[in-house]
Amino acid sequence: MESERGASGAPRSADLPARGAGGDDPGGGVPFPGSGSGSSPLLPTDVLSLDEDEDDLEVFSKTSRGEFDSSEFEVRRRYQDFLWLKGKLEESHPTLIIPPLPEKFIVKGMVERFNDDFIETRRKALHKFLNRIADHPTLTFNEDFKVFLTAEAWDLSSHKKQGPGLLSRMGQTVKAVASSMRGVKNRPEEFMEMNNFIEIFSQKINLIDKISQRIYKEEREYFDEMKEYGPIHILWSASEEDLVDILKGIASCIDKCRKATERRMSGLSEALLPVVHEYVLYSEMLMGVMKRRDQIQAELDSKIEALTSKKGDPHLLTEEIGRLEDKVECANNALKADWERWKQNMQNDIKSAFTDMAEENIHYYEQCLATWESFLTSQTELHLEEDSEDKL
Amino acid sequence: MEPTPPDPERQMQPAPLKPPGHPDSGLEAAIREEAEGAPEDSSGLGTMTENNFWLKKIEISVSEAEKRTGRNAMNMQETYTAYLIETRSVEHADGQSVLTDSLWRRYSEFELLRNYLLVYYPHIVVPPLPEKRAEFVWHKLSADNMDPDFVERRRIGLENFLLRVASHPILCRDKIFYLFLTQEGNWKETVNETGFQLKVDSRLKALNATFRVKNPDKRFTELKHYSDELQSVISHLLRVRARVADRLYGVYKVHGNYGRVFSEWSAIEKEMGDGLQSAGHHMDVYASSIDDILEDEEHYADQLKEYLFYAEALRAVCRKHELMQYDLEMAAQDLASKKQQCEELATGTVRTFSLKGMTTKLFGQETPEQREARIKVLEEQINEGEQQLKSKNLEGREFVKNAWADIERFKEQKNRDLKEALISYAIMQISMCKKGIQVWTNAKECFSKM
What pTM, to 2 d.p., does this model score?
0.80
Q: How far apart are CA B360 and CA B6, in angstroms?
A: 80
State residue B381 phi and psi, 5-degree precision: -60, -40
pLDDT at B45: 34
| Structural contact between residues A355 and B447, judged by C-beta atoms closer than 8 angstroms | yes
Neighbours of A1 (CB within 10 A): 15
Cα dihedral: A290, A296, A299, A304 (round 10): -100
* B56 or A347, higher pLDDT: A347
Query: What is the length of chain A?
Result: 392
- Taking 50 as the threshold, does the pLDDT of residue B19 lie above it? no
pLDDT at A305: 84
Residue of A nearest to B231 (CA): A236
**Chain B contact for A234 (CB, 8 A cutoff):** no
State residue B242 phi and psi, 5-degree precision: -65, -40
Residue of B nearest to A219 (CA): B251
Under 8 Å CB-to-CB from A163, ≥6 apart: which residues?
Answer: A88, A91
Residue contacts between A and B (CB atoms, under 8 Å): 145
- Taking 60 as the threshold, does the pLDDT of residue B23 lie above it? no
ipTM reported for the complex, 2 dp: 0.80
Burial A321-339 (b: 16+ CB within 10 A, else e): beebeeebeebbebbeebb
- A382's enclosing H/E stretch is helix A314-391
* B380 or A38, higher pLDDT: B380
pLDDT at B197: 87
Chain A interface test: which of B12, B429, B442 (most A C-beta within 10 Å) = B429
**Residues in chain A closer than 8 A to B6 (CB atoms):** 383-384, 387
pLDDT at B245: 95
Nearest to B67 by CA among B183, B187, B181, B147: B147
Chain A interface test: which of B234, B293, B410, B444 (most A C-beta within 10 Å) = B444
Q: How confident is the model at residue B56 (pLDDT cuts 50, 70, 90)?
A: low
- Taking 90 as the threshold, does the pLDDT of residue A345 lie above it? yes
Question: Residues of A numbered 203-222 whose beta carbons fall under 8 angstroms of chain B's beta carbons: which are they?
Answer: 204, 207-208, 211, 214-215, 218-219, 221-222
Q: Which of B13-22, B143-152, B285-294, B298-307 has the lowest mean pLDDT?
A: B13-22
Q: How far apart are CA A276 and CA A353, in angstroms?
A: 8
- Taking 70 as the threshold, does the pLDDT of residue A384 lie above it? yes
- Taking 50 as the threshold, does the pLDDT of residue A29 lie above it? no
Bridge partners, residue B71, by sequence? B77
pLDDT at A286: 93
- Give mean pLDDT, residues B11-18: 27
**Cβ <8 Å between B3 and A242:** no
Q: How far apart are CA B205 and CA B180, in angstroms?
A: 30
Per-residue pLDDT tens over the stretch B291-322: 999 999 999 999 999 999 999 999 999 999 99
Q: How far apart are CA A372 and CA A254, in angstroms?
A: 9
Nearest to A382 by CA among B14, B18, B237, B422: B422
Q: How far apart are CA B286 and CA A242, in angstroms?
A: 38
Question: Residues of A numbered 151-180 whose beta carbons fall under 8 angstroms of chain B's beta carbons: which are they?
Answer: none
Name the residue facing B444 among A200, A221, A359 (closest C-beta).
A359
pLDDT at B316: 94
**Residues in chain B closer than 8 A to A358 (CB atoms):** 440-441, 443-444, 447
- Taking 50 as the threshold, does the pLDDT of residue B42 lie above it? no
**Chain B contact for A242 (CB, 8 A cutoff):** yes
Bridge partners, residue B80, by sequence? B68
**Cβ <8 Å between B272 and A347:** yes
Q: Integer distance in angstroms from the first to the last C-alpha of chain B?
A: 34
DSSP state of B214: S
**Cβ <8 Å between A362 and B444:** yes
pLDDT at B18: 29
pLDDT at A300: 87
